[in-house]
Chains A and B, each alone.
Chain A
Amino acid sequence: MSAYPPKLAQRFLVRLVPSGIVGESIVGDAHEEYLEQIARVGSMRARLWYWSHVLNIALKYRNRRTTESAGHGGSGTALAGLAQDFRFTWRSLGRSAAFTSVVVGTLGIGIGATTAIFSVVNGVLLKPLPFPESDRLVTVWLQLPGIGLGQMGQARATYFTFRDEQRVLEDIGLWRTNSVTITGLSEPEVVPILQVTDGTLPLLGTQPVLGRRFTASDDTPGTPLTVMLSHGFWQRHYGGDAGAIGQMLALEDTQAEIIGVLPPEFQLMWADPAFVLPLRLDRSRASVGAFNYPVSGWVKWARRAPRTSRFGTSNASSKI
């Protein structure tokens, strides 16, 4: 038979009661009563009594501490109140499994829906484009209200017209997604690509991690074809070797010289290409009649000049 109360319970009691002689006398009272309980009902029941006694004291002094901190005001009040609210909520939910399931389910659906909506809104509206000074980038669409057509893509003719005549944009670029078959590898592989005019990457502010960007010469029909690899393609097929620059890449019935490697984060809207080729538009084939196919899928990007508003850009484009 132990003359000492359960150690854990006693340690718990010491932590709960006020410090100093007040707490000491309460712990001493408990010890004294514990010995009386042993003599009266035996050790086992005395230990149970001691635990219930500690819980009783814990309940009273926990409430007292909460009340005291509430009386002092300030952050202690708010925290004590918050903790009490949490405890009450937790106990209430614990009483009803069905209600708790409904609450948790409702919260889960609500949080999930909010997160999904925010992801879309953030990606489409709030998050800036991953390009420097992206607020100056504009998309140039065409409208033909006279024949009831709105938001059309560009044609060769409009691209050359805008590039030659406009004065409010720093530069203008045209791009489209496509796919091509690589034939120089062990097995032919169809990969997504991006085709851009020579002004597109500079106006986006994209700098190659290796080599150089396209020049007007690269974008001229009839000149040797050049290609810029995506970072992933360069890593997968060339092991990140800087010696890839200058090598030839076999594309269907032609060869393209590798002139540069794009940064790993490069992505243009939805396009995540294996590599980028120059668009090489033929000025001699540009005509107003070629408005729709095959140029309807082309999207034109431009960068507004500093201190030029979107409204001013639109007005100037309309005049052209």
Chain B
Amino acid sequence: MMSQHLGEFEQVLLLAILQAGDRAHALATIKELDEHAGRRVDRGTVYKTLDRLEAKGLVEWTIEDATPERGGHRRRLFTVTPQGIGALQTSRRTLFSLWEGLEPTLGGAP
């Protein structure tokens, strides 16, 4: 199966979900993005992108029971699917391939 091409934000959101581990709900991924990438993103963009990743089959979710601090509303916990992992690997290979030989121009790895 061909792996799908990822947009830049799709890529970082998938990585944030993986960084959040087994507590990867939407707010946790937003915090991961803030901590690791220094990106403060609006919630609407995150939800919309999660919808798109789900439609592509790159993420899936399970339901966590409602709690009082959530006003009695349930929560979705996201996991990256094998297709999502494949898409991330393809993106990384593409980036590495494009970076190769450009160190004199772009400098070394940080």
Binding site for B on A (CB under 8 A): 4-5, 21-22, 24-33, 35, 53, 56-57, 59-61, 64
Count of A-B residue pairs with CB < 8 Å = 61
Does any Cβ of A come within 8 Å of B76's Cβ?
A: yes
Known: A25-B73, A31-B73, A32-B69. A56 touches B43 (CB 8 A): yes
Select which of B42, B47, B71 is within 8 A of A31 by beta carbon. B71
Residues of B within 8 A of A57 (CB): 43-44, 47
Residues of B within 8 A of A24 (CB): 73-74
Residues of A within 8 A of B66 (CB): 28
B107 to chain A, nearest CB (A): 37
A21 to chain B, nearest CB (A): 6
Residues of B within 8 A of A30 (CB): 43
Query: Does the CB pair A28–B70 fall under 8 Å?
Result: yes
Binding site for A on B (CB under 8 A): 25-27, 42-45, 47-48, 51, 63, 66, 69-76
A51 to chain B, nearest CB (A): 13
What are 20 A-B interface contacts by the 8 Å CB criterion? A21-B76, A25-B25, A25-B26, A25-B76, A26-B26, A26-B47, A27-B71, A28-B70, A28-B71, A28-B73, A29-B26, A29-B70, A31-B70, A31-B73, A32-B70, A57-B44, A59-B44, A60-B44, A60-B48, A64-B51
Which residue of chain A is the closest to B74 with respect to CB atoms? A24
Query: Does the CB pair B48–A33 fall under 8 Å?
Result: no
A contacts with B: majority SS:
helix
B78 to chain A, nearest CB (A): 10
Which among B69, B71, B76 has the greatest number of chain A C-beta atoms within 10 A? B71
Select which of A22, A27, A31, A53 is within 8 A of B51 by beta carbon. A22
Which among B44, B70, B74, B75 has the greatest number of chain A C-beta atoms within 10 A? B44
Which residue of chain B is the closest to A4 with respect to CB atoms? B71
Query: Does the CB pair B27–A60 fall under 8 Å?
Result: no
